[in-house]
Chain A
């Protein structure tokens, strides 16, 4: 089930990048795709009826879902936010240079240069 959600979200993200013209929207779509991929990865580690992979009072012995995808997703999330921050700062600069965020207007200004 969750597979489909993440696939559709990836599709929406791609659709967003393909159709949108505002630079911010690209970052938004990128974040959507990142989130979708993360959900997908986690769902690949989910095992019905198993528990959170933490040894605790409630689960003293191992009865866990797959912890590795979770670890990977932790990394992926942070990498995603790093990229996003870079993108945002580049975007600020682009705006300063062209005074617009619409790709078509930027293209016109690039061509005129």
Chain B
């Protein structure tokens, strides 16, 4: 067993090897990537908790170190599950990538190494260092996607910098105030801190990094463009793994720093600060859901859904209740594998059709049934329908909200859940169902290598939906470590004050229902298949099929809801324009066409300094 430090170093230097290997042979390099991430997954599964390693001197008197915690282990397992599966998918996918494939693989490993460090960092600044490595690596990958990704990458980096610098500011202020930065000592100091304002500042600023990364409400706008534009296979890792870094930091700021003990409760044991964060999560749920509904680009659609799911995670974590926190953590896992399923199936579709616009496709179920199955199970889990694992986590979150009497919040979460049916159905109907277009007649199903990770994920989500014990065990260990009352469960039965829940029963019920439906499907006469061109209106033949494609304006009936909706994207654009105009102003102030201007400034500076100062 090598040390974690060495593993991280292997990733960092492995990125160089990966670059050279991929340069020589695309497949070889990707296999290397997969082997490395798979080994890391194996390593993490076996890693013992409590192990600690010295890393480097940040300052002469401050030592950075790594420690394995249950929380970190849970998150890193989820991450590397995603990373390994995506890396396997990439083995075949990369063959179709015309340029900068070598750099893609190299940065992929760099990102993996960075996130490994994030999950095991024992102090604020070490975490920041690895965090920025991961951000940098992901920033470098994003612009390898389509045209819009160039701008998206910069937006992403700027937003991310905003969050991480707030984090850094808080970290330094802690270092300066207490002289320590390791999580344990900081939380002890924070417990004894007298100033409420300072505690607010610290928690909010540290959470800011997580809020940005997981796309929570005021800082979510980068997500649509970045997910929509980045390379297709990478989006899966981006949504499935990288945004979980954000959830990790949120978990740290809320649970590792014991917010419940630090602040007096406002309502039902939840402090005001957590309540605010819960509301941010709520807004994200609503916003993500409703904005997802009207997207025509399928990747951007699921990007908005990521915003909503980030909201669920935050709501779950912020309750700091035994079941709610467990639900949040479980949702981290669920959303990770859902992202992999959904985005990988999209990656296949885009690879084959060359577009990501929903209304340019249709009927792909006839050509790529396995991809369809992956997507279908993915969205079932996303919408939180049993027997998939997605149901369990959402149920746990709802349960907590109801139990705490947060009915508004619960209502919003329900609305979000219902809304998710609406949006996930759009790609389902527009891309996979309906009539196949002529230009797509000779499409092929994804290759075996691509299908393996997708189908394994499908199996995993159903399996864990029925038998969630392994994840629940991990979650219990995390909760024990953080001092939250651990979740009570017995393999397939989850106990809550509102009653218990047996996953096997539910599975059987659904299985029966499914069988009945299947029998009915067999019994009743089948629908007649028509070609897309086989339709006409008013006696005229259609020449522009796309216009009459039913995926065009799929939700036109609710489009009116969105008229003049306020958008933060517009706000941020306005801020950008504002900065540009300030830039113009400042440039005009400094840069003069004539030497007179410069002499003017010299005189003014003298006069101001002299008359103001003396």
Distance in angstroms from B604 CB to nearest chain A CB is: 11
Q: In the bound complex, what is the Cα–Cα distance between A21 and B593 (angstroms)?
A: 11
A62 within 8 A of partner (CB): no
A21 touches B599 (CB 8 A): no
23 A-B pairs with C-beta separation under 8 A = A14-B599, A14-B603, A17-B595, A17-B596, A17-B599, A18-B596, A18-B599, A18-B600, A18-B603, A19-B596, A20-B596, A21-B594, A26-B595, A103-B593, A103-B594, A103-B595, A103-B596, A104-B593, A104-B594, A106-B593, A107-B593, A107-B594, A110-B593
B residues less than 8 Å from A107 (CB atoms)? 593-594
Q: In the bound complex, what is the Cα–Cα distance between A26 and B595 (angstroms)?
A: 8
Interface residues of A (CB under 8 A from B): 14, 17-21, 26, 103-104, 106-107, 110
Distance in angstroms from A42 CB to nearest chain B CB is: 23
In B180-200, the 8 Å CB interface with A consists of: none
Distance in angstroms from A64 CB to nearest chain B CB is: 34
Q: Smallest CB-CB separation from B594: which chain A residue?
A: A103
In B563-614, the 8 Å CB interface with A consists of: 593-596, 599-600, 603
B residues less than 8 Å from A104 (CB atoms)? 593-594
Q: Smallest CB-CB separation from B597: which chain A residue?
A: A18
Interface residues of B (CB under 8 A from A): 593-596, 599-600, 603
Q: In the bound complex, what is the Cα–Cα distance between A26 and B593 (angstroms)?
A: 14
Identify the 8 closest CB pairs spanning chains A and B, nearest first.
A107-B593, A103-B594, A17-B599, A18-B596, A26-B595, A17-B596, A18-B600, A14-B603
Q: In the bound complex, what is the Cα–Cα distance between A41 and B596 (angstroms)?
A: 25
Q: Smallest CB-CB separation from B596: which chain A residue?
A: A18
B residues less than 8 Å from A17 (CB atoms)? 595-596, 599
Q: How many A-B residue pairs have CB under 8 A?
A: 23
Distance in angstroms from B364 CB to nearest chain A CB is: 54
A residues less than 8 Å from B595 (CB atoms)? 17, 26, 103
Q: In the bound complex, what is the Cα–Cα distance between A107 and B600 (angstroms)?
A: 18
Q: In the bound complex, what is the Cα–Cα distance between A21 and B595 (angstroms)?
A: 9
Q: In the bound complex, what is the Cα–Cα distance between A26 and B592 (angstroms)?
A: 15
Distance in angstroms from A40 CB to nearest chain B CB is: 16
Q: In the bound complex, what is the Cα–Cα distance between A110 and B600 (angstroms)?
A: 21
A residues less than 8 Å from B593 (CB atoms)? 103-104, 106-107, 110
Q: Smallest CB-CB separation from B599: which chain A residue?
A: A17
Distance in angstroms from A32 CB to nearest chain B CB is: 13
Q: Smallest CB-CB separation from B595: which chain A residue?
A: A26
Q: Smallest CB-CB separation from A20: which chain B residue?
A: B596
B residues less than 8 Å from A110 (CB atoms)? 593
Q: In the bound complex, what is the Cα–Cα distance between A104 and B596 (angstroms)?
A: 11
Known contacts A18-B596, A18-B603, A107-B593; 9 additional CB pairs below 8 A are A14-B603, A17-B599, A19-B596, A20-B596, A103-B593, A103-B595, A104-B594, A106-B593, A110-B593
Interface centre among B593, B594, B600, by most A CB within 10 Å? B594
Q: In the bound complex, what is the Cα–Cα distance between A19 and B594 (angstroms)?
A: 10
Q: In the bound complex, what is the Cα–Cα distance between A104 and B603 (angstroms)?
A: 22
B residues less than 8 Å from A19 (CB atoms)? 596
Distance in angstroms from A37 CB to nearest chain B CB is: 14
Q: Smallest CB-CB separation from B606: which chain A residue?
A: A14
Q: In the bound complex, what is the Cα–Cα distance between A26 and B594 (angstroms)?
A: 10
Interface centre among A14, A20, A106, A110, by most B CB within 10 Å? A14
